[in-house]
Chains A and B, each alone.
Chain A
Amino acid sequence: MLSFTLKRLGDLIPTLIGVSLLSFFVIRLVPGDPVMLLLGERGADPKVYQEMKKELGLDRPIINQYGSFILNTLKGDLGRSIISKRKVTEEFFGRFPATLELGLCALIFAALIGIPLGILAAIKRNSFYDYFLMGGSLVGYSMPIFWWGLILIIVFSVGLGITPVSGRIDVIYEIKSLTGFYLIDTLLDTELISEEGLAPFTSAISHLILPSIAMGTIPLAVLARMTRSSMLEVLGEDYIRTAKAKGLPYKKVILVHALRNALIPIITVLGLMFGSIITGAILTETIFSWPGIGKWLVASINARDYPVIQGGVLFIATMVVMINLSVDFIYALVNPKMRH
Chain B
Amino acid sequence: MRKTLTMGLLLSSLLFSCSGKNKSSNNFVYCSEGSPTAFNPQITTDGTSNNAAAHTIYEKLVDFKYGTTEVVPALAESFSISEDRLTYSFKLRKDVSFHDQGKFKPTRKLNADDVLFSINRMRVKDHPFNKVGGGSYEYFNGMEMGQIIKDVTKIDDHTINITLNRPEAPFLANLAMSFMSILSKEYGDYLTTKNEKEKIDQYPVGTGPFIFKKYVKDSIIRFKKNEQYRGEKAKVDGLIFAITPDASVRFQKLKAGECHLVIEPSPADLDAIEKDEGLKLLSGSGLNVGYLAMNTQRKPFDNQLVRQAINMALDKEAYIQAIYLGQAIKAKNPLPPTIWSYNNDIKDYEHNILKAKELLSKAGHPQGFETEIWTLPVTRPYNPNGKKMGEMMQADLAKVGIKAKLISYDWPTYLKKAREGKHQLIQLGWTGDNGDPDNFLNVLLGCGGVEAGSNVSRWCDQDFEKLISEAKLTTDILVRTQLYRKAQEIFKTQAPWVPLAHSKVFRAMSKSVKGYQIDPLGGDIFKKVELK
Q: Do A and B come from one complex?
A: yes
Pairwise interchain contact B19-A163, C-beta atoms closer than 8 A: yes
Minimum Cβ distance to chain B for residue A209 (Å): 8
In the complex with contacts A165-B249, A166-B244, A199-B17, A37-B136 CB distance below 8 A: no
Stretch at the interface among A5-13, A62-70, A104-112, A170-178: A170-178
Q: Please tell me if A246 contacts chain B, counting CB pairs below 8 Å.
A: no
In the complex with contacts A286-B246, A289-B244, A168-B219 CB distance below 8 A: yes
Pairwise interchain contact A166-B410, C-beta atoms closer than 8 A: no
Q: State in angstroms the CA–CA spacing of A83 and B451 once bound together.
A: 25
Pairwise interchain contact A171-B19, C-beta atoms closer than 8 A: no
Q: Please tell me if B416 contacts chain A, counting CB pairs below 8 Å.
A: yes
Q: Please tell me if A255 contacts chain B, counting CB pairs below 8 Å.
A: no
Q: Please tell me if A187 contacts chain B, counting CB pairs below 8 Å.
A: no
In the complex with contacts A36-B416, A85-B134, A163-B15 CB distance below 8 A: yes
Q: Please tell me if B135 contacts chain A, counting CB pairs below 8 Å.
A: yes
Minimum Cβ distance to chain A for residue B440 (Å): 11
Pairwise interchain contact A43-B412, C-beta atoms closer than 8 A: no
Pairwise interchain contact B245-A177, C-beta atoms closer than 8 A: no
Binary interface profile of B, 228-272, with partner A (CB < 8 Å = 1, else 0)? 000000000000101111101100110110100000000000000
Q: Please tell me if B321 contacts chain A, counting CB pairs below 8 Å.
A: no
Stretch at the interface among A154-162, A219-227, A330-338: A154-162
Please count how many residues in chain A sit with their CB below 8 Å of the partner chain's CB atoms: 67
Q: Please tell me if B384 contacts chain A, counting CB pairs below 8 Å.
A: no
Pairwise interchain contact B252-A291, C-beta atoms closer than 8 A: no
Tally the A-B contacts, defined by beta carbons under 8 Å: 194
Can you sample 23 A-B contacts with CB below 8 Å?
A31-B416, A32-B413, A32-B416, A38-B45, A43-B453, A45-B451, A84-B37, A86-B202, A153-B252, A154-B252, A161-B19, A163-B15, A165-B253, A167-B219, A171-B27, A174-B222, A202-B17, A206-B20, A207-B18, A289-B218, A289-B243, A295-B245, A304-B412
Residues of A bordering B, CB below 8 Å: 30-33, 36-46, 48, 51-52, 55-56, 80-86, 91, 94-95, 98, 150, 153-154, 157-158, 161-168, 170-172, 174-175, 177, 199, 202-203, 205-207, 209, 286-289, 291-292, 295-296, 302, 304
Among candidates B19, B23, B248, B412, residue contacting A36 with C-beta atoms closer than 8 Å: B412
Pairwise interchain contact A295-B218, C-beta atoms closer than 8 A: yes
Q: Which of A41, A81, A94, A287 has the most CB of B within 10 A?
A: A41
In the complex with contacts A48-B141, A170-B18, A164-B454 CB distance below 8 A: no
Interface residues of B in 450-467 (CB under 8 A from A): 451-454
Pairwise interchain contact B416-A39, C-beta atoms closer than 8 A: no
- What residues on A are CB-neighbors of B218 within 8 Å? 95, 98, 289, 291-292, 295-296
Residues of B bordering A, CB below 8 Å: 13-20, 22-24, 27, 29, 35, 37-38, 43, 45, 133-136, 138, 141-142, 144, 198, 201-202, 214, 216-220, 222, 240, 242-246, 248-249, 252-253, 255-256, 258, 409-413, 415-416, 419, 428-430, 443, 448-449, 451-454
Residue of A nearest to B258 (CB): A165
Q: State in angstroms the CA–CA spacing of A33 and B412 once bound together.
A: 7
Residue of B nearest to A46 (CB): B451
Pairwise interchain contact A41-B430, C-beta atoms closer than 8 A: yes
Pairwise interchain contact B428-A165, C-beta atoms closer than 8 A: no
Q: Which of B16, B20, B452 has the most CB of A within 10 A?
A: B20
Among candidates A43, A52, A164, residue contacting B20 with C-beta atoms closer than 8 Å: A164
- What residues on A are CB-neighbors of B452 within 8 Å? 42-46
Pairwise interchain contact A162-B217, C-beta atoms closer than 8 A: no
- What residues on B are CB-neighbors of A95 within 8 Å? 217-218
Q: State in angstroms the CA–CA spacing of A295 and B180 once bound together.
A: 30
Q: State in angstroms the CA–CA spacing of A85 and B132 once bound together.
A: 9
Residue of A nearest to B454 (CB): A43
Q: State in angstroms the CA–CA spacing of A312 and B415 once bound together.
A: 26
Minimum Cβ distance to chain B for residue A304 (Å): 6
